[in-house]
Amino acid sequence: MTRFFVPPEELNISFMVLTGENAAHAKVLRLKNGEQVMVCDGQGAECICTVSDVSSGQISLVVNSVQKSSSEPSVKVSIYMAFPKSDKLEHVIQKATELGAYEIVAFPSARCISRPDEKSLQKKKERWQKIAASASEQSGRGHIPEIIILGSYSEAISRAIQADKAILFYENEHATTLRMALETGTYHSVSLLTGPEGGLEDGEVEKARRAGMEICTLGSRILRCETAPLCALSAVMYHTGEF
């Protein structure tokens, strides 16, 4: 079923009208009267609708039912990733969205090579959010992960530890595995923090440990900065019964 996203305030219990990019997309799909579509608010609510009128620039819909999205994970997983080089973050945003991430948080750390300024970050954030929206639509999700940009590593730690379970991955950790961390305690939210190319500095890892984050290994192999968060997210989804 074709899926459209609209702002939460446009979700209606009786009828809706698709305009702008949604209407243009519907035109490309050649939707006709009587066809059913899914309309989501990007925050977990979705409507089954029937096309009632197709006209220039807008598509009218009759709402058949409103329900909570059945495609969202039971555990909210936040990805915290230090700014990587090139377009690696775009890849992570797209794939993490498909895998079920609740949000993706980017931040600077000591070894980050990429340090975009505020002006370029605003443009990048708009693009990153569109990538998340497109991936949500393609993968049948009812929630669009928010792309959040923080100004420092300290901010990332302070925010990450608010999750029920906060985990940082470090290549020099050998005792605690991700499986061990996930098998202890109960949790409804998880934060997964990974470093940039070159990893996190020892002092940064100790700062996270003192703040209350669990320091884990992702195995005996060194993973690229764009591989680590996706590997960890997949493991959490498997452990919590999403796969």
- Quick one: angle between helices 153-160 and 202-211, nearest 10? 30
For the stretch 118-138, pLDDT in tens is: 888 999 999 999 999 999 999
Q: Nearest-CA neighbor of 103 among 154, 45, 51, 163?
A: 163
Q: Per-residue pLDDT tens for 166-195?
A: 999 999 999 999 999 999 999 999 999 999
Which run of H or of E encompasses 28?
Answer: helix 20-29
**pLDDT confidence tier of residue 70, bands split at 50, 70 and 90:** confident
Instruction: Find the helix or strand (DSSP H, E) in which 22 lies.
Output: helix 20-29
Quickly name the fold that domain 76-239 has. Alpha/beta knot (3.40.1280)
Strands (E), the chain: 3-5, 15-19, 36-40, 45-55, 58-68, 76-82, 103-107, 146-149, 165-169, 189-194, 214-216
Is 3-68's fold the same as 76-239's? Answer: no
Kindly report the pTM of this predicted structure: 0.89
Each domain of the chain, given as residue ranges in start order, spans 3-68, 76-239
The CATH superfamily of 3-68 is Hypothetical PUA domain-like; domain 1 (2.40.240.20)
Residue with tokens 């066809």: 35
Dihedral pair phi/psi, residue 165, rounded to 5°? -135, 120
The predicted pLDDT at position 206 comes to 98
Contact 4, 22 (CB under 8 A): yes
Pairing of strands 146-149, 45-55: unpaired
At 145, the pLDDT band (50, 70, 90 cuts) reads: very high
**Token pair recorded at residue 32:** 């006709």
- DSSP helix/strand/coil, 201: coil
